[in-house]
């Protein structure tokens, strides 16, 4: 197992920084062989507000991941999200003098460069240029035209952008933690990669990744990405609503939400929860239905904002594959039923990450869709030999790293 078979992904979220070390075997299976997680400090609603605090959180997550592998991490693939994300769909074409021209990779590169040249500016950084389909001679729709004959090649692309300053700030804090950034993957793309099935992408599907600080929306149709959007609202707003209503600290409100929270009042038992707030000699008593009322109101707002976005973009009636909920808030009891009521469809499911092995007891949950999706996206999009995560000047002993990983895999399985 050489270093080129290893990928490291880092999900810098509003509530936690998660680092996963993935190993790709000879038949293209993804094994998670390292895990690190730390509480995020310094990020609000997906935006860096205290860079030094974020750097410390990154270091803690990296240190933990290194301790599980016994090896030093020098480079990562990182996520990028927040309301600065934008998307555009573009179509470009090139013609050839030879009517029987053999399409090459250089032709694809020229077509892609032509698409990106139309949107290049100082305010935006291009994160992804994802081909949706290619059309030869205005007749044949193909997925991969390389090696085929044609006199004209047209490409349809989905382009994901981020504000340059936001991009540079995120890159800076990761590098300040002593880690090199190899690439970025947009949150909605990563989460969708982890939870969706090909048939859902073909039929049309909307993915809602509801995290602590943001709600990321991705819409797929005819097998490819059509639209993405990030809303600055998430689970932290639910927590603060609970804290204000019941006069609790943020930590107490979060515990109450996680341990007793449900998303639909009508399905919630009329029971009383006893809480012992810090600094108070007397316990307080909270109705579980009042707690559910608080949670239902905020999640309903998230769904209604999403529905408005889908209606505005003309996707209502086109997402026959339904709605997939993922992210930490998707763990809320009865959230599927609430989504079905708001979106007026029974085609709602909870999306958990798939197509990986190892650490399933820790990470086979909706809150890890983004970080696992980053590994899967990079594995599927380019050869792993192009994804080194270890600097040649690092202190890592490759032979020892390989031995450690092999032994951990034996222990896991």
Contacts of 293 (CB under 8 A, 6+ apart): 265
**Pair (113, 256) in one structural domain:** no
Please check whether residue 178 lies inside any domain of the structure.
no
Name the pLDDT band for 397 (thresholds 50, 70, 90): very low
Is pLDDT above 70 for 410? no
Q: Same domain, yes or no, for 346 and 359?
A: no
pLDDT-derived band at 83 (thresholds 50, 70, 90) equals confident
Indicate the average pLDDT of the chain. Answer: 89
How many domains in the chain? 3
pLDDT for position 116: 87
pLDDT computed for residue 173 by the predictor: 96
Q: Examine the domain organization and report whether 39 and 130 are in the same domain.
A: no
How high is the pLDDT of residue 407? 45
Instruction: Report the CATH number at residue 64.
Output: 3.30.420
Of 217, 191, 193, 199, give the one whose Cα is nearest residue 87: 217
Tokens matching residue 33? 């062989």
CB 37 within 8 A of CB 19: yes
| Residue reference for tokens 């707030």 | 277
In this structure, the answer to whether residues 334 and 363 fall within a common structural domain is no
Is there a single domain that holds both residue 201 and residue 345?
Answer: yes
Q: Is the domain of 260 the same as that of 292?
A: yes
Q: CA 15, CA 253: separation in Å to the nearest integer?
A: 14
User: Which H helix or E strand runs over 56?
Assistant: helix 51-69
Residue 231 lies in a domain: yes
Same domain, 345 and 358: no
The predicted structure's pLDDT at residue 383: 46
For residue 394, pLDDT over 50 is answered with no
- CATH of residue 211's domain is 3.30.420.40
Q: How far is CA 96 from CA 93, 136, 137, 156, in A?
A: 10, 11, 10, 18
Question: Domain boundary at 307, 327, 350, which?
Answer: 350
Q: Which residue among 140, 163, 186 closes a domain?
A: 163
When comparing pLDDT for 257 and 116, which is higher? 257
The CATH number linked to 149 is 3.30.1490.110
Is 80 a member of any domain? no
Lowest mean pLDDT among 56-65, 102-111, 340-349, 380-389: 380-389
**152 and 22 co-located in one domain:** no
Same domain, 202 and 338: yes
The confidence score (pLDDT) of residue 99 equals 87
Angle between helices 235-246 and 250-260 (to 10 degrees): 110
Measure the CA–CA gap between 30 and 21, rounded to whole angstroms. Answer: 10
pLDDT of res. 4: 52
**Distance between CA atoms of residues 385 and 406, nearest Å:** 19
Please report whether residue 109 resides in a domain. yes
The domain boundary, picked from 309, 327, 350, lies at 350
Contact 136, 110 (CB under 8 A): no
What are the tens digits of pLDDT across the range 278-298?
777 789 999 999 999 999 999
Residue 183 lies in a domain: no
Q: Is residue 306 part of a domain?
A: yes
Could you tell me what percent of the chain has a pLDDT over 70?
91
pLDDT of 409 above 60:
no
Q: Which DSSP letter does residue 214 get? A: -
Predicted local distance difference test score (pLDDT) of residue 296: 98
Question: What is the span of the domain harbouring residue 103?
Answer: 86-163
In the predicted structure, residue 327 carries a pLDDT above the cut 80: yes
**Angle between helix 335-343 and helix 288-312 axes, rounded to 10 deg:** 40
This prediction's pTM: 0.88
So what's the pLDDT on residue 118?
75
Averaged pLDDT, 330-344 = 98
Cα angle 306, 308, 314 (rounded to 5 degrees) comes to 105
pLDDT band of residue 382 (cuts 50, 70, 90) is low
Residues 110 and 47 in one domain: no
Within this chain, do residues 201 and 342 fall inside the same structural domain, yes or no?
yes
Instruction: Please state the rounded mean pLDDT for residues 362-375.
Output: 97
Mean pLDDT of 134-161: 91
| Residue 186 counted as domain residue | no
Summarize pLDDT for 126-141 with one digit per residue, the tens: 999 999 999 999 888 8
pLDDT in tens, 205-252: 999 999 999 999 999 999 999 999 999 999 999 999 999 999 999 999
302, 386: one domain:
no
Q: What is the mean pLDDT of residues 183-206?
A: 96
- The pLDDT tens digits for 308-319 are 999 999 999 899
Asked whether residue 181 is domain-assigned, the answer is no
pLDDT at 53: 96
């Amino acid at each position: 197992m050489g270093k080129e078979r290893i990928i490291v992904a880092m999900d810098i979220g509003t509530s936690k920084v998660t680092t996963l070390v993935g190993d790709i075997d000879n038949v293209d299976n993804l094994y998670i062989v390292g895990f690190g997680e730390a509480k995020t400090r310094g990020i609000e609603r997906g935006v860096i507000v205290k860079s030094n605090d974020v750097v410390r959180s990154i270091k803690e997550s990296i240190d933990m991941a290194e301790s599980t592998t016994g090896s030093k991490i020098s480079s990562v693939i990182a996520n990028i999200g927040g309301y600065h994300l934008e998307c555009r769909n573009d179509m470009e074409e090139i013609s050839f003098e030879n009517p029987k021209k053999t399409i090459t990779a250089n032709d694809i590169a020229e077509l892609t460069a032509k698409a990106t040249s139309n949107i290049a500016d100082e305010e935006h950084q291009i994160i992804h240029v994802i081909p949706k389909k290619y059309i030869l001679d205005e007749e044949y729709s193909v997925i991969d035209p390389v090696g085929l004959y044609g006199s004209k090649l047209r490409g349809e692309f989905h382009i994901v952008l981020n504000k340059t300053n936001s991009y540079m700030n995120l890159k800076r804090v990761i590098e300040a933690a002593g880690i090199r950034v190899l690439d970025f993957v947009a949150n909605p793309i990563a989460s969708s990669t982890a939870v969706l099935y090909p048939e859902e992408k073909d039929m049309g599907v909307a993915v809602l990744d509801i995290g602590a600080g943001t709600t990321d929306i991705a819409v797929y149709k005819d097998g490819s990405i059509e639209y993405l959007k990030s809303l600055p609202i998430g689970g932290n707003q639910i927590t603060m609503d609970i804290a204000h209503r019941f006069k609790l600290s943020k930590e107490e409100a979060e515990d109450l939400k996680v341990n007793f929270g449900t998303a639909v009042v009508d399905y919630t038992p009329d029971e009383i929860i006893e809480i012992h707030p810090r600094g108070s000699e007397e316990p307080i008593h909270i109705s579980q239905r009042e707690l559910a009322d608080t949670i239902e109101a905020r999640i309903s707002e998230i769904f209604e904002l999403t529905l408005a976005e889908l209606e505005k973009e003309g996707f209502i009636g086109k997402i026959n594959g339904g709605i997939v909920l993922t992210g930490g808030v998707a763990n809320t009891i009865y959230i599927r039923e609430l989504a079905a009521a708001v979106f007026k469809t029974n085609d709602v499911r909870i999306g958990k990450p798939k197509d990986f092995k190892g650490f399933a007891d820790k990470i086979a949950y909706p809150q890890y869709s983004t970080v696992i999706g980053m590994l899967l996206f990079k594995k599927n999009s380019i050869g792993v030999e192009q994804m080194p995560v270890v600097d040649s000047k690092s202190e890592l002993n490759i032979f020892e790293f390989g031995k450690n990983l092999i032994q951990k895999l034996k222990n896991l399985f």
